[in-house]
Amino acid sequence: GPMKKLSKKVEDVDKKLAALLGVTAEDVQLVDMAVNKKSGTIYMSLHRKSDGVGAIATVNG
């Protein structure tokens, strides 16, 4: 549905994103983030520092 404020803080988001790439939080960089206001989906562009691999993660609102 439409974008809504999160009801609670997402704890350790850096560690959760790093786990998606199979690395530690120190080895991942959040490059950019965008929100689709209509769907509430959050898109995050990630970069694995050790080898330059990029990824896109989504969070459904």
pLDDT, tens digit (0-9, with 9 covering 90-100), for 33-43: 999 988 888 89
Domain count, the chain: 1
Establish if 6 belongs to a structural domain: no
Establish if 8 belongs to a structural domain: no
Give residues with Cβ within 8 angstroms of 57, minimum separation 6: 17, 20, 43, 44, 46
pLDDT band at 30 (very low <50, low <70, confident <90, very high): very high
Which residue, chain included where needed, has tokens 């439409």?
2
Answer whether residue 12 shows pLDDT above 80: yes
Q: Which pLDDT belongs to residue 57?
A: 92
Establish if 26 belongs to a structural domain: yes
Question: pTM for the complete prediction?
Answer: 0.76
Establish if 1 belongs to a structural domain: no
Answer whether residue 53 shows pLDDT above 70: yes
Answer whether residue 5 shows pLDDT above 90: no
Q: Which pLDDT belongs to residue 20?
A: 87
Establish if 50 belongs to a structural domain: yes
Establish if 43 belongs to a structural domain: yes
Find the domain containing 46 and state its range: 13-59
